[in-house]
Chains A and B, each alone.
Chain A
Amino acid sequence: MEKKVTMQMIAQRAGVSVVTVSNVLSGKKGASDEVRNLIYALAEETGYQKSTPKAKEAEQTYRFGVLIAERYVKEYPSFYMHIYKEIAQESAKRGGLTILEVIDETCERLTDPVYKFADAEIDGLFIIGEMSPLFLDSVRENSKVPVVGVDFYDVDKDMDYIITDSFRGMQKATERLIECGHEDIAFLGTPRATNSIMDRYMGYCKALLLNHIDKTSVICDRSIVGSGVIKFDLPAKLPTAFVCNCERSTGILIEKLREKGVRIPEDVSIVAFDRFFDEYPDGMEVTTYEIDENVLARVSVNTLLKRIGGKVKSVGIRTVDGILKEGNTVKRRDR
């Protein structure tokens, strides 16, 4: 039988390395046109036939596990379920399937949680939304596949996180109010409840500091630990404007203000963070810092695919920018 032509044979005759031959024949960069021509000519002469194991890669279907805490799924409309939808769509585009598992509170609090993916065959795992540190630790330790956190982060864990830019987003939203002449601005949200609320609070503080406004005030909308149930009272003396940490608080704030007969934006202006999927009353459109969930999903899927390919090490926290969408809840005030 005729001996099979190998890349090495071509390399020897051309006087170049096997890597160069391989690069040229697979159409990669890194060889001069001169060498390229020579190698093509030799390959043709010797009747070199490319073996094609590479083709398999393109057809491969990945299976991604997705974990979401029950408390995010229970609320309606659910922001994280929307993120999940985007991730599922993006994964499908890239030839991946997603399998969702909802983690209930008991499971999240166990020191040795049982979740189904440990045994199932998945290539990578997304965790959408903040979860208890214990649970996160356990998942990371037991998981044999790369894990990407979406819309939350924990600086102690060496894994990828894709997050919304809470800090700068809230800075921008607050600056919008300041531009319109507001100085008495209250922050609605409990900074210490979650990392992202703290970041939003810091963004609010930064905007005030850079504009030399000393007065900061916080209205807590939930307890520091707990299930995230929103409950707050309006202050006796209302500020001229509110910045709201999330879309659910915004909805409740609007209700409470209307009950008291306060007009928006004539009496009180509002800016918020995160898109609200439900509708506000009477054609009200809240000026909101929104992220493009599609971009968030794309970056997340990209990152996980890269990690699965083993091409890159974990990059840590990656922030995704959003935009401030103008609504009709901010009124210009004369200073």
Chain B
Amino acid sequence: MARTVKLKDIANELGTSIVTVSNALSGKKGVSEAIRTQVIEKAKELGYDYTRQDKSPKGKVTIGVIVSGQYIGIGTSFYWTMYQQVVWAASTFKALTTLEIISTEKEKQLEPPRLTADGSIDGLIVIGKLEKEYLERILKILQVPVVLLDFRCEESGCSSVMSNNYIGMYKITRYLLKKGHRNIGFVGEVETNENLCDRYFGYRKVMEEWGVPVNKEWVIADPMVVSQRAAISLPKALPTAFVCCNDYVAGFLYDRLSQMGYRVPEDISLVGYDNYLYGHSLAKKLTTYNVDMKEMATAAVKMLVKKINGKSDYYNIVYLDSQIVERDSVKNIKE
């Protein structure tokens, strides 16, 4: 069998260096046109395998990303930043990403995303909760692996990467108790969003653990408030601190408290969740639990790439833990 022709063989034949041959074949500078032609001709003559040079890297994958339009909003939003992190993580795996934002109507009418149409993606990441029916519809059409980011849907059998909502909120609420607070309220949805429900129980856990009763008046769980479509109505007697289900809600509550003449943290303490609050004066002040978006995105992409390459068909849900970011919205009232 003929042995494969190497760069070295061409160099030997022509009496030049390997580097020159390589440069000439790859069209780089530093080689005269005359020599380049010579090298190319010699390569042809000897039957040098060009394909070894310009083969595109193996395993180049395209990752589809879909996000529900209701989360993207205007300007910078949490999920937009999350998407950015996915793009970055994908690039480290030499993968391309393609984004589709799903309108609420599309989701309601179960109209499948265009991304699923022509088999152009090798895998899909869904950022943020989609209606279960819609997700099932997508899974029916799509024959590629799917990873869910920041929500889970067990029935779908898709692996997920999530923030550890329950433990995260447990940590940040405990921080308040350690600063001497006992009268602590909670602002956030409880029943409609599972992530937020888990955060509520993280708060509940600390209260149970320390034997502090939860005052129902201080649990503000109106979904309209969380989506900022309704004003917060505060009870007459306020607690010494509020735990907010996310930083946006903390910002919203902060504005309301400021209107009423309360100062944070002098009169009332606040903590949030996410460590993501842009364009609000509270951002530099709010003590919150960090959601490590970079870590989450990387974990999701890694998981998906593994599945695409057929290296993992293992179903699992990864909950990522992070830490408290201590700023200046909590007053120490411990005697």
Contact = CB atoms under 8 A, between A and B. Distances in A.
A30 B322 CA distance: 30
A2 interface: no
A192 B211 CA distance: 9
Nearest to B211: A192
A328 interface: no
A62 B221 CA distance: 51
A155 B174 contact: yes
A41 B316 CA distance: 44
A29 B205 CA distance: 46
Given A38-B18, A45-B8, A317 B197 contact: no
B16 interface: no
B321 A317 contact: yes
Contacts of A107: none
> For the complex, would chain A's binding face be called helix, strand, loop or mixed by DSSP majority?
helix
Q: How large is the interface on A (under 10, 10 to 19, 20 to 34, 35 or more residues)?
A: 20 to 34
A203 B205 CA distance: 10
Interface stretch (A66-74, A75-83, A88-96, A194-202): A194-202
B19 A13 contact: yes
Contact of B205 (A32, A202, A209, A318): A202
A203 B166 CA distance: 10
B53 A34 contact: yes
Contacts of A321: 316-317
Contacts of B323: 316
A9 to B, nearest CB: 12
A316 B19 contact: no
A37 B167 CA distance: 50
B81 interface: no
B320 A205 contact: no
Contacts of A317: 164, 167, 319, 321
A37 B221 CA distance: 63
B321 A37 contact: no
Contact of B19 (A38, A191, A198): A38
B36 to A, nearest CB: 15
Nearest to B174: A155
Contacts of A167: 166, 198, 201
Interface of B: 6-8, 17-19, 22, 26, 52-55, 57, 164, 166-167, 170-171, 174, 190-191, 197-198, 201, 204-205, 208-209, 211, 316-323
Query: What 8 A-B pairs have minimum CB-CB distances, sorted nearest first?
Result: A316-B321, A38-B22, A41-B7, A317-B321, A319-B319, A202-B201, A41-B18, A155-B171
Given A33-B52, A42-B18, 5 more contacts: A33-B55, A37-B22, A155-B170, A192-B209, A317-B164
10 contacts: A13-B17, A14-B22, A33-B57, A44-B8, A153-B167, A167-B166, A199-B205, A202-B166, A206-B197, A210-B197
